[in-house]
Amino acid sequence: SIDPYLNNQISCRSGGIRRLNLRPWKEVQPLIHISPKLLTDVVARSKRELDQEWQLYRENQNADPQSPIGTAFGFSRPKRQAAMISNASFLLEYTSANMIRSFLQGKLQDVESGNVRELVTMLPSIDISTIGLMPELECDEVALPCDHTRKYRTITGWCNNLQNPHFGKSFQPFIRLLPPVYEDGLGKPRGTSVTGKPLPSPRMVSRNIHTDTSNLHTRYSLMVMQFAQITDHDLTFTPVNKGFINEGILNCLSCDSMITVHPQCFPIPVPEGDPFFPSVNDTNGEPYCIPATRSMPGQRTLGPREQMNQLTAYLDMSFVYGSDVCEARMLRSFSGGKLNSTKVLRGKALLPEIIAHPECRAENKVCFIAGDARASEQPGLGALHTVFMREHNLIASDLAVMNPHWGDEVLYQETRRIMGAMYQNIIFSEFLPRIFGWEGVRRHGLTLQHEGYYTGYDPSCDGTIVNEFSAAAFRFGHSLLRPVFRRVDPQYKPLEPPVRLRDHFFKPAVLYRPNMVEELILGLVDTPMETLDNFITEEVTNHLFEKTGVLFSGMDLISLNMQRARDHGIRGYNHYREFCNMSRARDFRDLESDMLPGLVDTLRGVYDHVDDIDLFPGGMSERPLPGGVLGPTFACIVGH
């Protein structure tokens, strides 16, 4: 008989009994065996070599923080945590190179003889936890286990994904859509054509492809550009390398600065016949270069160099609230849930001020501070930052009236939740449809539900920003720029004079003028943006961060875009056509159906081979998707 005190009997073959899932206990098996002694010896040798090389450069002078080089550095300034990670990543890169040398000397096993490429792919699987290279970061949040009952997101992005808490966290390396292509397989920037010749200078590409011709958009305002920039500053911030003296700014102006100043200098040669910059420096007869510095490495394993993102990967308004605990504290007033602000005699509050900002070019040396360090980069950006700060404080005030029993912490966190929800709604319901077109939004599964909650969350999906997004695709907004910001009064009548872009890089003093923030915001919504195409204003191709009155002191943002992508080992445009399910071009003629008129011939005149085309000019040359502004390749990368 059946015992009534036992559970109901069922067959052992019944589908109602779930099998024990042991997959969480599976460890990744190293693809290559390295003895602990060999690993320790190689790391020690690499550290000695790294110290010796860096010692050679310690006496070189830093650049002036007020120079265009200094201003460019301020736009990519590394935080203290990034520098700590970078030091370990450099050592990992040197160790990887020495591992390859050991392999070539026959000291490594389990690798096919002579196959260095195979070894490079195996290096990341080597367990380096025993040598303790990665530092513990200050101002961090790494508590485990993740608290699944926590109501508010962390500042650093830690535990956003409960099963994979580091996904999308600040100070993590970018992930990639395609493996990097470095000259040496490890970290040397991409610089050689598939024909074996050098790739064209990015300045050569910029001056031929990205000329200054205005083509105003018939539907969208300049606010699309400005919102795109602040969204980019919510998602990506790649730090560049610093100098050795007091961690100063590298002076990479000389074309041989990677030898004479610092190995991480990566200057851009100006070709002969340039329509603006001289190809030869008149003062010393040396070749003329646009200064550029390599991004800090951020990989946490052996193998090829990876770059790091100082921000969280999530749409969490880190440009308002910061990406580490110390930043978040500094921005708070700790009174009524509000953020710090600057009171002015006439008008509404402005962003909080910071005096210790070495790259600030304002006459009074005062710039603004926000959750993202680039808030003072140009007036339109500063104005939009100010609006978000004011909105936070307004909502906090209203919540305090509704809930007088709430303290500062609850008011701050609840306001942050509301702000984040508003911002994400703008992104998905207004911004992305204008970038992709509605068909593109649906294709990438980015359509908002009318009610209820999203049920398709996948904890195995890594939300970390992809390198190709940061280094190329999401830089599309550079084409939308206008040379000036119009000022408009409440009746939408233009005010004079407008604010010229080149005169106000890291010079936020203009925002102190009464009603200037409001005039700029109204100007952004009342001014058409430029159409997304290959044309880009010379305000950023010839005059970026220019020092007033100093000829040729400016830089070229588009050349820097391409140089950055080569620095990061980003593959050529044709590889991403194939990745995005477009036909891989066999020659330049295969591009004609996807590109804007006349550009294929121009690309053919600059590049030796279709596979050499850099991702940025290739993506910017495509015809936009119906109803959107992006072409198919950039839409694919941004959609991912």
Locate 304 and state its tokens: 């090829």
- Which residue's entry shows tokens 């100010």? 386
Q: How much is the pLDDT for 27?
A: 66
Under the phi-then-psi rule, with left for phi > 0, alpha for psi from -120 to 50, and beta for the rest, what region is 54? Answer: alpha
- pLDDT bracket for residue 12 (50, 70, 90): low
Report the relative pairing of strands 484-488 and 268-269 from DSSP bridges. Answer: unpaired
Residue of 511, 365, 464 whose CA lies nearest to 167: 464
Residue range 43-88, pLDDT digits in tens: 999 999 988 888 877 766 667 766 667 667 666 778 989 999 999 9
Report CA torsion sign: 102, 107, 110, 115: positive
Question: Which string of DSSP letters, residue by residue, matches 41-79?
Answer: HHHHHHHHHHHHHHHTTTTSPEEPTTSHHHHHHHHTPPP
Q: How much is the pLDDT for 554?
A: 94
Distances (CA, A) of 130 to 36, 43, 181, 354: 8, 12, 29, 42
pTM across the whole model = 0.92
CB atoms within 10 A of CB 550: 10
Res. 245: pLDDT tops 60: no
Burial state string for 229-242 with b = 16 or more CB within 10 A and e = fewer than 16: bbbbbbbbbbbbbb
Residue range 407-436, pLDDT digits in tens: 999 999 999 999 999 999 999 999 999 999
Q: How much is the pLDDT for 113?
A: 46
- From CA 128, how far away is CA 555, in angstroms rounded? 41
- Residue 447 CA, chain-centre distance (Å), reads 25
Under the phi-then-psi rule, with left for phi > 0, alpha for psi from -120 to 50, and beta for the rest, what region is 270? Answer: beta
User: Is 478 annotated among the ligand-binding residues?
Assistant: yes
Element (H, E) at 216: strand 216-221
Between residues 108 and 452, the one the model is more confident about: 452
Q: How much is the pLDDT for 114?
A: 57
- From CA 514, how far away is CA 10, in angstroms rounded? 79
Locate 373 and state its tokens: 């360090």
- From CA 445, how far away is CA 441, in angstroms rounded? 6
Res. 37: pLDDT tops 50: yes
* CB of 297 closer than 8 Å to CB of 93: yes
Q: What Rg, from alpha-carbon coordinates, does the chain have?
A: 26
* CB of 251 closer than 8 Å to CB of 62: yes
Question: Which string of DSSP letters, residue by residue, matches 71-97?
Answer: HHHHHTPPPHHHHHHHHHHHHHHHHHH
Residue of 505, 525, 494, 234 whose CA lies nearest to 385: 234
Strands (E), 501-637: 528-530
What percentage of the chain carries pLDDT values higher than 90?
73
Helix (H, G, I), strand (E, B) or coil at 320: helix
DSSP label at 312?
-
Res. 287: pLDDT tops 60: yes
- pLDDT bracket for residue 5 (50, 70, 90): low
Residue range 564-604, pLDDT digits in tens: 999 999 999 999 999 999 999 999 999 999 998 899 999 99
Q: How much is the pLDDT for 607?
A: 98
Highest mean pLDDT among 1-10, 354-363, 486-495, 544-553: 486-495
Q: Please identify which of the residues 210, 217, 233, 262 carries the catalytic annotation.
A: 233
Q: How much is the pLDDT for 527?
A: 97
Instruction: Say whether 233 is catalytic.
Output: yes
Res. 208: pLDDT tops 80: yes
HEC profile of 157-196: CCCCCCCCCCCCCCCEECECCCCCCCCCCCCCCCCECCCC
Residue of 139, 299, 164, 316 whose CA lies nearest to 235: 316
State mean pLDDT over 81-97: 93
- From CA 329, how far away is CA 322, in angstroms rounded? 9
- pLDDT bracket for residue 6 (50, 70, 90): low
State mean pLDDT over 464-473: 98
Res. 117: pLDDT tops 90: no
Which phi and psi angles does 603 have, rounded to 5°? -65, -40
- pLDDT bracket for residue 437 (50, 70, 90): very high
Report the relative pairing of strands 268-269 and 172-173 from DSSP bridges. Answer: unpaired
Res. 516: pLDDT tops 80: yes
